[in-house]
Amino acid sequence: MQQGYYIIPGATTVGIKGADGVVLASEKRLSYGNFVVSKNARKVFQLTKNAGAACAGLVSDMQGLIREAKALINIYMLEQGRLPSVNTVAKVLSTYLFGNRFFPYFTETVVGGVDSTGAHIYVLDPLGSMIEDDYTAVGSGAEIAAGVLETWFKPGLSSDEITELAIKAVKAGATRDAASGNGIDILVIGRSGVVRLETIQF
């Protein structure tokens, strides 16, 4: 606690839906106040072959949330013998967040993926609200990133185009937000599943 308020780590995290896939991206800086704790924090996670999540907030909370969600999703796949839909994956995370609403996870979460109904992006707040959208930005750099997305997004973009747009949006957020920076983790998911998970330095 500093100067009467809790220090919540910043981030710039985006999710974008394209014609045949989705991209989730976040920068890698972990900071508390004016101190950079790590330059290699992971905020993008693969949940299944066809879905992933990207977070902004307390890294410990996002790690705990993802760990619990992956365990339940694995049980679902064992019992049902198939991959869950992206909506089901988002609902698992939403249920965990809502169940802990009186002692919430300090994390904003973006869930994205591709299933038999197409590409999907969902944004979840710390209390479990779940909203589907074409694109979203969360974290302390979200205002800057959202401006880039609003300017350049249009329906039907290819996977390469939404990847380039995600990089542009996160870089813009990191340029103006001191709590964001040190590279970008990117998860690209297409109709055949995860296309790539990589780190880009800048």
Q: Which residues are catalytically annotated?
A: 12
If we measure between CA atoms, which residue out of 16, 36, 14 comes closest to residue 27?
A: 14
Mapped onto helix, strand or coil, the DSSP state of residue 140 is coil
Q: What are phi and psi of 58, to 5 degrees?
A: -70, 125
Mapped onto helix, strand or coil, the DSSP state of residue 124 is strand
What distance in Å separates the CA atoms of residue 8 and residue 35, rounded to the nearest whole number?
Answer: 12
Does an H or E element contain 27, and which?
A: strand 21-27
Directed axis angle between helix 142-152 and helix 159-176, to 10°?
A: 140
Does an H or E element contain 79, and which?
A: helix 59-80
